[in-house]
Structure 1
Amino acid sequence: MGGGEEELRSYIIKGGEEGRARLSVLARVLAPTTERLFDRFEPLKGRLAIDAGCGGGDVSFEIAERVGPHGRVVAIDLDETKLVSARQEAERRGASHVEFVKGSVIEPWPAASASFVYVRFVLTHLTEPEALLARALEAMQSGGTIVVEDIDFAGHFCDPHNDAFFRFTELYVAAAKRRGADAFIGRRLARMLDTAGFADVGSSLVQPYGRTDDVKEVTLMTLAAISDAVVASELATIKEMAELKAELHAFTARPDTTVSLPRIFQAWGRKP
């Protein structure tokens, strides 16, 4: 099985236009914490950066602003629908220094000697996430920085308690495990960077939560996006998923309810 086929097999979240819309909402929620994360590192003006598993390019454009017009961003993803939208957005912005490339993140990358590599919510979906880190190391110049963000589904919470919310998290974890993915990979990121050969590894943790429309919308959109994988894995029926969606929608529609996203671990390191 080729790298691209392997990635798609283990990916439980629906892609295409629906996936692009979900990622856009998620990017809005995470923008403040991701920007603060990038601020930790030296300026990227004029540098080459790679966004591996870029989705619709939301973070690619943030990186593009940081490298400036004399730098370059190579953004890689397998989902052509998302890439088409990203290319259209790049044209609208006049961001000619951002290149969106269809490709596997576990096969050789179309760029080398990068100063900065970013990977968000990709390792969790891979059956062999170490393969991506090996490709990153190959594509980086000595002294370059890698930054990884990924989920850890332990620690979800809501207020007040809601059975539908925790059934959603249970199904997500089970569907990921069934396909060889890891919904708890976040806690392992720092150790994985160490093992892959990166130096000066550091890490932090954030967990968005709230009563706001965007945070709640991410939860609802994620449930919808995993429904096909859950049913295909025989973890729940179509009828059960419809009932779960209705229950969770009713809960999140209440103004007095709070929900969390997963814990998000952030880890970084340097190529020696």
Structure 2
Amino acid sequence: MDDGSAPAAGGYVLGSTDREMARLAALSEVYGPVTAAWLDSAGLRPGATVVDVGCGPGDVSLAAAERVGPTGTVLGLDAAPRPLELARARAAAAGLRNVSFEQADVTRWRPPAPVDAVVGRLILVHLPDPVAQVARLAGTVRPGGVVAFADVALSTRAAQPELPLLTAFNAWLLGTFTRSGRPVDMALRLTGVFRAAGLPDPVLTAAAPLERGGDAVGWSVVAGDVAGLLPVMERTGVATREEIGPETFEQRLRAQAAEHDAVLVNPLVVGAVARTPDGGG
């Protein structure tokens, strides 16, 4: 949300600015391998119909489209028009004709007919009632179809040796999410969410990618979080612009990391995959 108003609990707070698009690109680079492993564990087959909820600029949608092939279809859904424009351009550039994108409220959207799979990466943390939404979306999937969500445990980001600026950022980030009514550990709740939504225990994949030094891509994710969340940080009283210094934040953070040759532990991302009951007894 980038209109300057206070976000409702469960709303997306990181906006759709150029900086946020850059943050999402960095995030996808860091988490590309675990995303691929998660989608592979989902077993998306050629010819399958897939819906990607909260698709953003389309990384998961495009990866799913490659897996289901030209006989399958992927529909990416997002509430913000800006990321969808980028997603459509990326699909066209990749020559993927089996993927399309639609602006929609993912908490209410329903397909005209059951689909083979519903997937979503880093979306449940932003939804007001993850259990209810997973249960609702699972209801749009055919019997024996796939329900797959991946999310993050924000509290697991760290550096070794500890970097003062990252330590400060972690406190700002966790405080902002907590005061905005969002969980900071959704990755660790996925099994419970799936169970409460009436699904079997999911198959899990997980990774907390490691990088080293001042050139780590993950520092761009951190800096993007600062830029996107700054209005909310100030509004909720977590930190002020003067404390954060957003204009030079990334430069200072990278300098600290380079000086100490620090190892960055990017936050743990967990992917969960389950199949809907097939009614076979």
Aligned-pair Cα RMSD in Å = 2.2
Q: Distance in 2 between matches of 1:255 and 1:83?
A: 39
Q: Which residues of 2 match residues 1-272 of structure 1 at below 5 A? A: 10-110=11-111, 112-211=113-212, 212-242=215-245, 245=249, 247-254=252-259, 256-272=261-277
Relative to structure 1, is the Cα distance of residues 111 and 239 closer, same or farther in structure 2, using a 3 angstrom cutoff? Answer: farther
Relative to structure 1, is the Cα distance of residues 220 and 258 closer, same or farther in structure 2, using a 3 angstrom cutoff? Answer: farther
| Residues 122, 150 of structure 1: 8 Å contact kept | yes
| Residues 41, 273 of structure 2: 8 Å contact kept | no
Structure 2 counterpart SS, 1:230: helix
Q: Distance in 1 between matches of 2:190 and 2:266?
A: 18
| Residues 17, 82 of structure 1: 8 Å contact kept | no
Q: Distance in 2 between matches of 1:182 and 1:214?
A: 24
Q: Distance in 2 between matches of 1:241 and 1:166?
A: 12
Tell me the amino acid that sits aligned with residue 268 of structure 2.
R
Runs of 5+ consecutive residues of structure 1 not aligned to the other structure: none
Relative to structure 1, is the Cα distance of residues 189 and 7 closer, same or farther in structure 2, using a 3 angstrom cutoff? Answer: farther
Q: Distance in 1 between matches of 2:112 and 2:96?
A: 18
Structure 1 counterpart SS, 2:274: strand
Structure 1 counterpart SS, 2:50: strand
Q: Distance in 1 between matches of 2:230 and 2:271?
A: 27
| Residues 175, 233 of structure 1: 8 Å contact kept | yes
Tell me the amino acid that sits aligned with residue 203 of structure 1.
L
| Residues 159, 264 of structure 2: 8 Å contact kept | yes
- When normalised by structure 1's length, the TM-score is 0.90
Aligned positions, number? 268
Tell me the amino acid that sits aligned with residue 154 of structure 2.
F
Q: Over residues 21-66 of structure 1, what are the superposed CA-to-partner deviations in whole Å (9 max), with x where a residue is unaligned?
A: 2111111111112112222243420010111100100111110000
| Residues 206, 265 of structure 1: 8 Å contact kept | yes
Of 60-69 and 115-124, more deviation after overlay is shown by 115-124
| Residues 16, 79 of structure 1: 8 Å contact kept | no
Aligned-pair identity (%): 27
Structure 2 counterpart SS, 1:149: strand
Relative to structure 1, is the Cα distance of residues 130 and 145 closer, same or farther in structure 2, using a 3 angstrom cutoff? Answer: same
Shift of 1:200: 4.5
Runs of 5+ consecutive residues of structure 2 not aligned to the other structure: 1-5
Structure 2 counterpart SS, 1:213: coil
Relative to structure 1, is the Cα distance of residues 131 and 111 closer, same or farther in structure 2, using a 3 angstrom cutoff? Answer: farther
Structure 2 counterpart SS, 1:236: coil
Relative to structure 1, is the Cα distance of residues 109 and 24 closer, same or farther in structure 2, using a 3 angstrom cutoff? Answer: farther
Relative to structure 1, is the Cα distance of residues 104 and 131 closer, same or farther in structure 2, using a 3 angstrom cutoff? Answer: farther
Relative to structure 1, is the Cα distance of residues 6 and 198 closer, same or farther in structure 2, using a 3 angstrom cutoff? Answer: farther
Of 70-79 and 13-22, more deviation after overlay is shown by 13-22
